């Protein structure tokens, strides 16, 4: 198959593409605008594969997207391109409205016209897979409640509101125009190649630099953590086998308080790379003012994808976070390029 992946230079997108190239025989077109978090070095291991292509383009550019569909002739679209950092959405929501809502609308319109022009056989196999987040549901009050595929939407941040809007657009294009879609909503991802503004890589890298480890509020916010490579497997399974019109929640079955996550990282680093001054990394933890509208608890009920598609995560949080810390310790070149901005110069050198 030909699989078009939007946002393939991002954290989850690059994991999906590495999986597609390494574990399947499909052809992949990576469409990415290469904003600050798009890093083609995350695809260095597969970039020379003959089944992989890269197109630098904005999903809001209808002309460019139309040409990409016409040239590549995708059988499946996996739409991951999104602005995804809550703090940035609070400081500057317009980028999130533009990319997450208008970009998704543009893709849907291009996909609709493309789909209508396909032969009956091609129509039967075509699918538009929209990848979203559990943050569209808001937060959970009880300690035993879980997000299901029928949980009402109640987004709290400009980011989650923009993703909720894109989810609604995708479902509307299915119901109104008959576009064959599937939607997935995932919990917090972590793992290799994660841009260091998010909690886990930020804590790892700050700790190694001897900097404060910032924790919002009291650190008791609860998230369900999903190892990114487990997520990539689930996304491919949904894209290729799920019934059109279905929604699947994808979670890691790993509910942890933020402060637990930070302390676990500190413990691993104490074992793998003790501080020269002999202090424990936990001494760097610094509690900071909570962010506006901070959801207290997310937790996903992933029974539907387990029962219907026979997927479940292979990594526990303990095994996944150990692998993640070890990866950052072993890949200081990637880390240093991201921290210094050199990865952007690498892109210019590689593709000009």
For residue 299, the model assigns a pLDDT of 85
For residue 352, the model assigns a pLDDT of 40
Q: How confident is the model over 18-54, as pLDDT tens digits?
A: 999 999 999 999 999 998 778 999 999 999 999 999 9
Contact between 129 and 186 under an 8 Å Cβ cutoff? The reply is no
The catalytically annotated residue of 32, 75, 135, 255 is 135
The catalytically annotated residue of 41, 75, 134, 224 is 134
Q: What is the average per-residue pLDDT within 112-126?
A: 97
CA angle 93, 39, 59 (to 5 degrees): 50
For residue 225, the model assigns a pLDDT of 93
pLDDT > 80? residue 287: yes
pLDDT > 50? residue 350: no
Asked if 134 is an active-site residue, the reply is yes
Q: What is the average per-residue pLDDT within 5-25?
A: 97
More confident residue, 294 or 6: 6
Contact between 231 and 189 under an 8 Å Cβ cutoff? The reply is yes
Q: Go through the domains of the chain in sequence order and give each one's CATH number.
A: 2-195+225-252+296-314 (3.40.50.720)
Q: How confident is the model over 128-169, as pLDDT tens digits?
A: 999 999 999 988 876 678 899 999 999 999 999 999 999 999
The catalytically annotated residue of 137, 159, 190, 236 is 159
Band (119; pLDDT cuts 50, 70, 90): very high
For residue 91, the model assigns a pLDDT of 83
Q: How confident is the model over 299-326, as pLDDT tens digits?
A: 889 999 999 999 999 999 999 999 999 9
Average pLDDT, the chain: 92
**Burial, 39: exposed, middle or buried (Cβ in 10 Å; 0-12, 13-18, 19+)?**
buried
By three-state DSSP, how is residue 210 classified?
coil
Q: What is the average per-residue pLDDT within 161-190?
A: 97
């Amino acid at each position: 198959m030909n699989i078009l992946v939007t946002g393939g230079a991002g954290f989850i997108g690059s994991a999906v593409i590495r999986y597609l190239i390494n574990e399947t025989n499909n052809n992949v077109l990576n469409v990415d605008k290469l904003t600050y978090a798009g890093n083609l070095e995350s695809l260095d291991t597969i970039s020379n594969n003959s089944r992989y292509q890269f197109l630098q383009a904005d999903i809001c550019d209808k002309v460019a997207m139309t040409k990409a569909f016409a040239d590549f002739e995708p059988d499946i679209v996996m739409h991951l391109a999104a602005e995804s950092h809550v703090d940035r959405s609070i400081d500057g929501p317009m980028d999130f409205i533009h990319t997450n809502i208008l970009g998704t609308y543009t893709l849907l319109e291009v996909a609709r016209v493309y789909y209508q022009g396909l032969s009956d056989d091609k129509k039967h196999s075509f699918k538009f897979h929209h990848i979203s987040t559990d943050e569209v549901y808001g937060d959970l009050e009880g300690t035993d409640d879980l997000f299901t595929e029928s949980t009402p939407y109640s987004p709290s941040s400009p980011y989650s509101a923009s993703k909720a809007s894109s989810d609604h657009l995708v479902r509307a294009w299915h119901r109104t125009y008959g576009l064959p879609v599937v939607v997935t909503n995932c919990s917090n991802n972590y793992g290799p190649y994660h841009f260091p503004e998010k909690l886990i890589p930020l804590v790892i890298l700050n700790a190694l630099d001897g900097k404060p480890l910032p924790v919002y509020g009291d650190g008791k916010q609860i998230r369900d953590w999903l190892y990114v490579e487990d997520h990539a497997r689930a996304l491919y399974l949904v894209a290729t086998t799920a019934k059109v019109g279905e929604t699947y929640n994808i979670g890691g079955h790993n509910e942890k308080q933020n402060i637990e996550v930070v302390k676990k990282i500190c413990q691993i680093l104490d074992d793998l790379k003790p501080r020269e001054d002999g202090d424990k990394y936990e001494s760097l933890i610094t509690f900071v003012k909570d962010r506006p509208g901070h959801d207290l608890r997310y937790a996903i009920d992933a029974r539907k994808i387990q029962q219907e598609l026979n997927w479940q995560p292979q990594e526990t949080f303990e095994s996944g976070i150990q692998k993640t810390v070890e990866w950052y310790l072993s890949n200081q070149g990637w880390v240093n390029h991201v921290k210094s901005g050199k990865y952007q110069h690498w892109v210019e050198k590689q593709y000009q």
